[in-house]
Chains A and B, each alone.
Chain A
Amino acid sequence: MNIMQGLLYSKTHEWVKVEGDRVRVGLSDFAQHEMGDIVFVNLPEEGDMVTAGEAFTDIESVKAVSDVYAPVSGRIVAVNEELADDPALINSDCYEAWIVELEEVGGLDDLMDSTAYETFVASAE
């Protein structure tokens, strides 16, 4: 299990990378591994608002569809269009394969750092 340091994590296994006023959101290694081979990302639209804890997109693996929950609230200012053509990037490099970029971010304090997330994952397994 690869847990990248310097990122924040949600209990629903999304990671958040803080870059000034913006954050990038992606799926943790645990999440991509649980989903298996990812074949489609239903990318949301720029400008959409997302609410922490609510599904903002869904991802299809060969096996099934999974909701992806917003780890924080905010406004989508960019989506990773690369995932439209190559959704398996999330499997091959989950910490590079960001899904959305958000501004007007709220709820960062509720997230775990990598150490806390490691403990969380260990207890979930």
Chain B
Amino acid sequence: MEEKLLRTPLYECHLAAGGKIVPFAGYELPVQYEKSGVITEHMAVREKVGMFDVSHMGEVILSGPDALANLQNLMTNDYSDLADGFVRYSPMCYENGGVVDDLLVYKLEDNLYYIVVNASNRHKDVEWMQKNLKGDVQLKDISDDVAQIALQGPLAEAVLKKLAAESDIPQKNYTFVRKAPVGGIDCLISRTGYTGEDGFELYTANADAPALWNKLLEAGEEFGLIPCGLGARDTLRMEAAMPLYGHEMDETISPWETGLGWAVKMAKEDFIGKAAIEATGRPRARVGLKITGRGIVREHCDVYVGDQKIGHSTSGTHCPYLGMPVAMALVDAAYKEVGTQMEVEVRGRRISAEVVKLPFYKREK
């Protein structure tokens, strides 16, 4: 199906910054920037601060007296004790226990939630939620009106402090401030991210996004802030071993197998997929692989122990900060222990690998 590619409100900013534009999730987005490249952008986020356009992400509002009851039914995580101003991650499952999407739920206030979903799953998610809503509740897809900029790295807070009041900057991870002016522009500031680093995600109206982008660039210059593309976003999440929908998760993989048990609350009375998750159990496991042979493992490579095929790689790349290639794989759970030796077949060639503890990289607090 050929669909016309969409542009985020920051498209012109990317061109001005030398962004190399590629199609991604139905949008034209920069994979990297001319002056930097993936490795430089990756290192900026690990050591200083980087900025990403993630406006392609989807945002929906769930509201009404039965909003919480519906979240409890739709999501595997438990939202009963989520306070205003807090964010909580969850997989959302089908009846068969496979994953529809993974998402973030923001509690704006009682009966009012803001849900952030993957761009490529947005329409599917909205359809699935609509179909399963019960009682007095409304769902509204506001993705086309909302832009999102991720400001990530150890110096992200220093940059933000130049543009926002200290009281408007969320202090704890997975908290947010709903109406926070940044350089005079209305934003929702959330202390979240997808890089394994400290940082923020700023949600704003489309019309204000270019001005916000430029203010952040200017404020961040003294701290070494550079714009970063999709390439670095992927290597950063990979190094931090954060699962990505379509790779470590999909409709055929249980969230237990992905290792998301911490976000699957079996103590809840019920939720969609609960029975199937329990029945399926954990026949496979997501593991981290250190590539000990020569080469780079990407997704969809078969994994072997001896002659026996035990699974496949779900993501893989060279990690710029660690300076080595790693991969994640979904393998027969019998082979999930750290230290297990295996081989990955890359274009007809077997490359040796070893199961290591995840995440590959964890920032020092």
- Give chain B interface residues in 308-323, CB to chain A under 8 Å: 317-318, 320
Cross-chain contact A62 with B235 (CB below 8 angstroms): yes
- Kindly state the separation between the CA atoms of A64 and B320 in the bound complex, as whole angstroms: 14
- Kindly state the separation between the CA atoms of A64 and B38 in the bound complex, as whole angstroms: 11
- CB contact under 8 A between A62 and B295, given known A36-B32, A36-B38: no
- Kindly state the separation between the CA atoms of A75 and B294 in the bound complex, as whole angstroms: 24
Q: Tell me if B26 counts as interface (CB < 8 A to partner A).
A: no
Q: Tell me if A114 counts as interface (CB < 8 A to partner B).
A: no
A-side contacts of B38, CB under 8 Å: 36-37, 61-63
Q: Tell me if B91 counts as interface (CB < 8 A to partner A).
A: no
Cross-chain contact A65 with B298 (CB below 8 angstroms): yes
Residue total for B at the interface (Cβ-Cβ under 8 A): 18
Give which listed residue, A58, A60, A63, A84, contacts B31 with CB less than 8 A: A63
- Give chain B interface residues in 2-37, CB to chain A under 8 Å: 31-32, 37
- CB contact under 8 A between A40 and B37, given known A62-B231, A62-B318, A63-B231: no
A-B residue pairs in contact (CB < 8 Å), sample of 18: A36-B37, A36-B231, A37-B39, A40-B295, A40-B296, A40-B318, A40-B325, A42-B294, A60-B296, A60-B318, A61-B38, A62-B38, A62-B39, A62-B317, A63-B31, A63-B231, A65-B298, A65-B347
Number of A-B contacts (CB under 8 A): 41
**Closest CB of chain A to B110's CB: distance in Å?**
45
**Closest CB of chain A to B268's CB: distance in Å?**
41
Which residues of B are interface residues toward A (Cβ below 8 A)? 31-32, 37-39, 42, 231, 235, 294-296, 298, 317-318, 320, 325, 347, 349
B-side contacts of A61, CB under 8 Å: 38
Q: Which secondary structure dominates where chain B touches chain A?
A: mixed
- Kindly state the separation between the CA atoms of A42 and B325 in the bound complex, as whole angstroms: 14
- Kindly state the separation between the CA atoms of A94 and B325 in the bound complex, as whole angstroms: 23
Q: Tell me if A102 counts as interface (CB < 8 A to partner B).
A: no
Residue of B with least CB distance to A84: B294
- Kindly state the separation between the CA atoms of A40 and B298 in the bound complex, as whole angstroms: 13
**Closest CB of chain B to A115's CB: distance in Å?**
26
Choose among A58, A60, A65 the residue with the greatest number of B CB atoms under 10 Å from its CB.
A60
Give the size range of A's interface with the partner: 10 to 19
- Give chain A interface residues in 8-59, CB to chain B under 8 Å: 36-37, 39-40, 42, 58
- Kindly state the separation between the CA atoms of A11 and B43 in the bound complex, as whole angstroms: 34
Residue of B with least CB distance to A87: B318
Give which listed residue, B31, B231, B295, B318, contacts A42 with CB less than 8 A: B295
- Kindly state the separation between the CA atoms of A39 and B317 in the bound complex, as whole angstroms: 10
Closest 4 CB pairs of A and B: A39-B318, A60-B296, A62-B38, A37-B39
